Amino acid sequence: MAMSLGINILSVVLFIPAFMLSYLRPQSTYGLKWLFLVIAFLGAALAPISVLLSHWGGGVAFSLRITVLAILVLFAIICSRYPFFHRLSILIFPYLIFVNIGAIGLDALDNTSYVFYSSSNWIFAHIISGVLTYASITLAAIVSFSVYLSQKNLKNKQSNQITTLLPSINECNDIQTKLLIFAEVILVCGFISGLSLQYFSTGVILIFDHKTVFTILAMLVIAIILFLQERTGVRGKIAVRFIMFAYLLLTLAYPGVKFVAQIVI
């Protein structure tokens, strides 16, 4: 069932103030930043709530919107602990706006044939773990991209308006590692819960489908980058490539599988 055009447009428009504030008035008070973050959160929540009033959506557009909402929640939690994280709004909000627009384009595909019904709380816990994992690896990818931009400008002895607004490299490195650890822990827990659900529903503990393969690869890639960071302190381009690869794998495993199921199959 397609979302109304008005809700779709409003959900995107409400992201714009937070992005404009991060770009035009980066030195604004934290109170104003939190106000615009709340406005963006309301925009992200509009479409999912309108769907959840009747059912849990099973389509790719709904999944993207839930992911955007989870990213904002995680972003807000980190900002409450590390105020400098607000400065990443200049990278995060364009990404969220882009994803929201993509969800609008895919909204027509979320018809009643992709409504998800289940009475099992374990299934919903498994879904939530997947959403949190994808949200955390997305933020880690954005943080690593911020580090890459800053290091590139330092190497070239250049700067631009965007990089001057970003957090310091050391601040980003610390948050990046914590996000990767969080993503790995939640991903492992979600994978184990998925195996349990698979076993109790089919009697088979592991089925090597696309989602399973991509998830296992993502776990390995995140584990490798965490190991390399601990042992060698690897950062910069190498870290960005590993994290982006993990992000790509989870994109294929989570919204990618839904996209193929709805459009290709």
Claim to verify: residue 168 and residue 263 sit in the same structural domain: yes
Among the candidates 117, 139, 169, a domain finishes at 117
Claim to verify: residue 62 and residue 163 sit in the same structural domain: no
Domain contains 180: yes
From residue 261, alpha-carbon distances to 130, 256, 265 in Å are 18, 9, 5
204: containing domain: 129-265
pLDDT tens, residue by residue, 71-114:
999 999 999 999 889 889 999 999 999 999 888 877 766 554 44
From residue 163, alpha-carbon distances to 33, 147, 160, 179 in Å are 19, 9, 6, 21
Claim to verify: residue 177 and residue 239 sit in the same structural domain: yes
Claim to verify: residue 66 and residue 105 sit in the same structural domain: yes
Domain contains 123: no
Among the candidates 91, 117, 143, a domain finishes at 117
Among the candidates 94, 117, 140, a domain finishes at 117
Provide the Cα torsion 108, 112, 113, 118; round to 10°: 130
Number of domains in the chain: 2
pLDDT tens, residue by residue, 180-236:
999 999 999 888 888 877 777 777 777 777 788 898 999 999 999 999 888 887 777
Question: What is the pTM for the complete model shown?
Answer: 0.86
